[in-house]
Amino acid sequence: MSIYNARRLQPGAAVVLGVGAALVIVMVSFLPSFSGDFHDFYMAGHLLMTGHSPYEWPRYYSPVWVAVGFAPLALLPERPAYAAYTLISLGGLTVSVWRLTRGQSRALVLLTLGLLWLVQILAGNIDWLLPTALVVPSLAGIWLALAKPQLGWLLVAVLLLRMPRRKAAVSVGAVAVGLGLSYLLGWNVPDLESVRLWNIAPWPWGLLVGGPLAIWSLVRRDRELALGVSLLISPYWQRPSLIAAWPASMRARWLWLAWIALMALVLIENLSLIVGYFPR
């Protein structure tokens, strides 16, 4: 990197570090450590660290490697762990948006990043791993996508099709071992009745449109389309998972704007949560 480019990066790096430090202070001081889904992942990691199955926590539904990823955070008290995880997830979102939006409208990129940051702070979930799976090497992308298997399996199929056969076979074997271990430990798979209160998936009617699009994504080996179509063919997901539709929406300005409008509605719907985060 030239000295000129390094000097150009310094102000940006200072801003990022400043914003990150401010977020840490705000989250540790004001925001609840159990924000959204984070508490469930934190407890799964804690159980794993203490020699128990993560599935002893009844609301943990992810494969075992997700609990492994949260185990180091479980060494911290929950509030600082939440702050650390949020910063990690915001960093992952920033890298994903930066790599997926090269050459796109700067205003739309910044608006997208802002919406994703706010949703992530609110939800504390792992949906941010889905777009991240598109910007990392394929093998890592498979593990990240299958952190939410109901949404990531079609993307994984496309990633495998794009791999050399031997590498794909090794990847399938490794994932099979991971999934098998999850089942041996008592993997909890929710039934549709138990998720009825928050499930907004268009199941099963979404298959009418999603089925042909899923086949097309496999034929074309289209990663972004495969990820977006998963929302139509998955039996359950909640509002933050709309992030899966974003990479494919960038192909047309009106689709991207429609996605931004949907995410804005998600934030408006949860406005009471945002206000409730801060003490009165």
What is d(CA 86, CA 92) in angstroms, rounded to the nearest whole number?
10
The rounded distance, in Å, linking the Cα atoms of 247 and 132 is 10
Q: Is the dihedral of CA 140, 186, 41, 153 positive or negative?
A: positive
The pTM of this model reads 0.86
Looking at residue 278, what is its pLDDT? 46
Query: Comparing 20-34, 199-213, 225-239, 251-265, which segment has the lowest mean pLDDT?
Result: 20-34
pLDDT of residue 3: 46
| Terminal C-alpha separation, the chain | 48
Query: pLDDT of 73-97, one tens digit each?
Result: 999 998 888 888 988 998 999 999 9
Mean pLDDT value across residues 247-254 = 91
Asked whether the predicted pLDDT for residue 280 surpasses 50, the reply is no
Q: From CA 94, how far away is CA 92, in angstroms rounded?
A: 5
Cα separation of 30 and 27, whole Å?
5
The Cα–Cα gap between 23 and 56 comes to 32
Neighbours of 247 (CB within 10 A): 24
Give the separation between CA 239 and CA 11, rounded to whole angstroms: 35
Say whether 192 sits in a helix, a strand or coil: coil
3-state SS, residue 72: helix
Extract the tokens encoding 161: 């099709």
User: Of 27, 8, 37, 32, which is closest to residue 148 (Cα–Cα)?
Assistant: 37
Which pLDDT value is given to residue 15?
Answer: 60
Domain ranges of the chain: 105-276
Range 71-101 burial, b when 16+ CB lie within 10 A, else e: bebbeeebbebbbbbbeebbebbeebbeebb
Chain centroid to CA 117: 11
Q: Where are the alpha helices (DSSP H) in 71-105?
A: 78-100
Task: Note whether 217 and 154 are within 8 A (CB).
Answer: yes
Quote the CA–CA distance of 231 and 240 in Å, as a whole number.
Answer: 11
189 Rama class: left (phi>0) / alpha (psi -120 to 50) / beta: beta
Q: Structure tokens of 86?
A: 């949020």
Q: Over the stretch 119-141, which tens digit does the pLDDT of each residue have? A: 887 778 899 999 999 999 999 99
